Structures are given as C-alpha cells and as structure tokens.
Amino acid sequence: MIWQRRIQQALEQRKAQHLWRQPHCLQGPQGVIVTRGERRLLNFCSNDYLGLAALGGDALQQAAQQWQFGSGASHLVCGHSQAHEELQRALAAHAGYPRAVLFSTGYMANLGVISALTQRGDTVWQDKLNHASLLDGAQLSRAQLKRYRHNDSDHLQQLLATTDGSGAHLIVSDSIFSMDGNCAELTQLANIAEQHQALLLIDDAHGFGVLGEHGEGARHAFSLSAQQLPLYMGTLGKALGGFGAFVACDHDMADYLTQFARSHIYTTAMPPALAAAMCVQLQRLQQGDLQKQLRTNIAYWRQLADQAGLPLMPSESAIQPLLVGSSERALQLSAALSEQGFWVTAIRPPTVPQHSARLRITLSAAHSHEQIAELVSCLQPLWEQCS
C-alpha cells in the first residue's frame, strides 16, 4: 500500500504541475525532417548538431560484416576489440591527449570518473547548472559536493579560499551548458584549479565535434594545454551522431580509470561494430566543413530571431533556448509549434530550475536557411500571443 500511494501521488503531482514527460515515437530515422506518428515535423530539438546521425548507418552495416553484433563482455573480461582500441586512439588524437578511455554513455563516464577519483573528505566543486550526471557522480563518491553560482568563477575562488586545506579538490563544469547554451569560463577555471592544486574535469558533451576548427572541442577553442585541462569528457551521441562517450587524459589517469572507474569496468563494452562506425563518423567530422556551416546557421538564427523580437539568451552555441517561465505556457507553445509542423521540446523542472521552463531550440548544420526562417516566422506570432 505504501508504495502504491507514493507512486500514485508522485505521478499525479507531475501531471498537476504540468511536468509530465513522455517520449514521442519516431517512425523513421533521426534527422532535420522526422516522422512522428502521422506528422512530418521539422526538427529543432535534437543534439545531432552536424546532421551525422543519419549518415552512420552505412558504416555500421559494413562494420557489422566484420564484427557481427555483440561485444560479449566488459572491456576487462573479453569484450575489448581492435575496433575499441582504434576508436580510443582516434578520439585521444582528435581531442589532443595521449589516451582516451571509452564509456557506454556520457552519463556513465561522469559517474565513473568522479566516483573513481574522489572519496570521503574530498570536495567536488560544481557549477550550479552542471548536468545531472556530474551531480550524481559527486553524490556517488561520498565526497562533499559544493556548488558555486552559475558561471561565476569569482564565487568559486571565494569559496575555495575559505576551505581548511584538508582533502583533495576536484573542480567540475560543463563546457557548454546543456539547457542554456552559454559557455563556461574555462580559462579562469583552469587558473583557479592550478592555484589550488585542484583537478579540473570538463564535460564537453555539447562542444566535442562542434568547437574548434574541426570539432576538436573546448580545450582547443580556449587554447588550453592538456595539462591545464587534464580530464576531458566527450560524448559520441551528439555531434558525432552515434552513441557512447570517452574520457581523454594522460597515461597515468587512463590507467587509473581503467582500474577504478566502476561504470567502465562493470558493464558490457559497446558493440565493436558501433566502435568501428564511430571511427568513420570521426573521420567525416574531421574532413568536412560542418562546423562552419553550423556557425553560419547559428548566426542566421540569432539575426532573424532578434529582428523578430524573440528574447534570445546569451548563447553562441547550437543551443538557443527561449525562456518562457511557466511550464504550462512552455507546453502550450511547444504544442502550437507542433501543430504547425515544428518539433521543439518544452524543457521544464527538474531539468531546469523552478519557473524557468523554456523552449530548447537547437540548430544543426543540416538545417537550411529557409527552414530556420520558417521557424522564426511561425514563432513570432505565437510568442506575441503568449506574452
């Protein structure tokens, strides 16, 4: 009885507060135009920033002929293949580090790294708006979790100055914040980490593949050395259009994670064909001009949206949210957009702070300027009606 009541109350509360979430089912592949139920929709909410999700299928099919399907076991038992080895090598080289360690997802990478490195008596310092997986990693570690004001390195500096010096310090931040789209002050964070002999972990889920000339990521974009940014987490499910994640670092750190990161050790390795296909996706990203195309699309969106009076947030990234506030209103706007053929998800608490529901619009290199202009034309009257 106690469980039934608790579960029903939680579900009813979610509905009453307009916070109910459910997946929508696609009838075909991910892309700029998708089929959802009966509707064809122009997609403005995926993390497939370069349009690579639709392109990896051929590489996967080809790799499956050699590698078949499952990896059969975790990396340290017998699931680690040449395909994984090559992917680790290619990712490390692209991000500019000596080594990389694969994880099944970014969520698991963050849990694994933070919980492997820190313990009771240590402190994990995190930006208030860090991704849930980073916060969960700190909870798992039993270290003390302290959060500084969003993107406020002065606040972090002040807090660090008041610590008693016992225990080790890990500073953790998203590079591009997933729900706001703005970028962390990475240079200041690196300087603070050096000053306090803290380790710095940057989650570049939304920067890897996008930032830098050919998507080398946030470290390159900020001209930081690998020593200044010793722990770099990148994901393969966003700009690379696939699935998986890695942590790039030096040799000792890679050995340490292989020994102690439980979410790397105690889980089945990704299918080797997927690892081989991800290598091809990485080559596509290195060869093309997709990052430039994306930057052009972001600039075009910002110009049109600004002219249309839409309240842009200070983001230069592919994540271009429009802050609504009320969850109910955000849902209404999302539904109205869907009626007119656009898919933009309403992001609500607890993913974002209370009263800060938003339309999380994301741009892709695969959008045409016409499609971006259509979204703005549709949004402008809807926004005026609801404000």
Q: Which residues bind ligand PMP (CB under 6 A)?
A: 105-107, 110, 131, 133, 174, 178, 203, 205, 235, 237, 245
Full DSSP string of 34-97? EEETTEEEEE-S-S-TTS-TTTSHHHHHHHHHHH-S---SBIIIII--HHHHHHHHHHHHHHT-
Residues 208/91, Cβ–Cβ less than 8 Å: no
106 is in an annotated binding site: yes
Q: How far is CA 146 from CA 35, 143, 215, in A?
A: 43, 10, 31
Closer residue to ligand PMP (CB): 136 or 152? 136
Is position 251 annotated in a ligand binding site? no
* Nearest residue (CB) to ligand PMP, 122 versus 203: 203
Whether a cis peptide bond, with omega within 30° of 0, leads into 98 is: no
166 burial via Cβ count (<10 Å: 0-12, 13-18, 19+)? exposed
- At closest approach, how far in Å is the CB of 267 from ligand PMP? 13
| Encoded tokens for 322 | 């429009």
Please, what is the minimum distance in Å from the beta carbon of residue 296 to ligand PMP? 24
Q: How many residues does the chain have?
A: 387
CA distances from 364 to 5, 31, 105, 183 (A): 44, 9, 22, 18
Taking the complex as a whole, how short is the minimal distance between the CB of residue 344 and ligand PMP, in angstroms? 17
Cβ proximity to ligand PMP: between 217 and 383 the closer is 217
Is 21 one of the annotated binding-site residues? yes
Task: Tell whether residue 351 is among the known ligand binding residues.
Answer: yes
Which 3 state secondary structure label does DSSP give 178?
coil
Closest CB to ligand PMP: residue number: 106
Q: Closest distance between ligand PMP and the C-beta of residue 237, in Å?
A: 4
Minimum distance, C-beta of residue 197 to ligand PMP, in the bound complex (Å): 26
> Residue 255 Cβ, how far from ligand PMP at the closest point, in Å?
23
206 annotated as belonging to a binding site for a ligand: yes
Nearer to ligand PMP, 320 or 371 (CB): 320
Q: How many CB atoms neighbour CB 149 within 10 A?
A: 14
Which CB, 43 or 110, lies closer to ligand PMP? 110
Q: How far is the C-alpha of 229 from the C-alpha of 191, rounded, in Å? A: 10
Q: Which lies closer to ligand PMP via its Cβ, residue 234 or residue 272?
A: 234
Rounded to a whole number of angstroms, the minimum distance from the CB of residue 238 to ligand PMP is 7
Opening angle at CA 255, ends 106 and 117, nearest 5: 60
d(CA 313, CA 319): 10
Q: Is 231:238 a contact under the CB 8 Å cutoff?
A: no
Nearer to ligand PMP, 239 or 376 (CB): 239
Smallest separation (angstroms) from ligand PMP to the CB of 179: 8
CA distance 260 to 356: 38
Q: Give every strand in the sheet of 342-343, ordered side by side.
A: 33-36, 39-43, 342-343
Q: Which is nearer to ligand PMP, 264 or 310 (CB)?
A: 264
Binding site annotation covers 131?
yes
Residue list for the binding site: 21, 106-107, 131, 178, 206, 235, 351
Residue list for the binding site for substrate: 21, 131, 351
Residue list for the binding site for pyridoxal 5'-phosphate: 106-107, 178, 206, 235
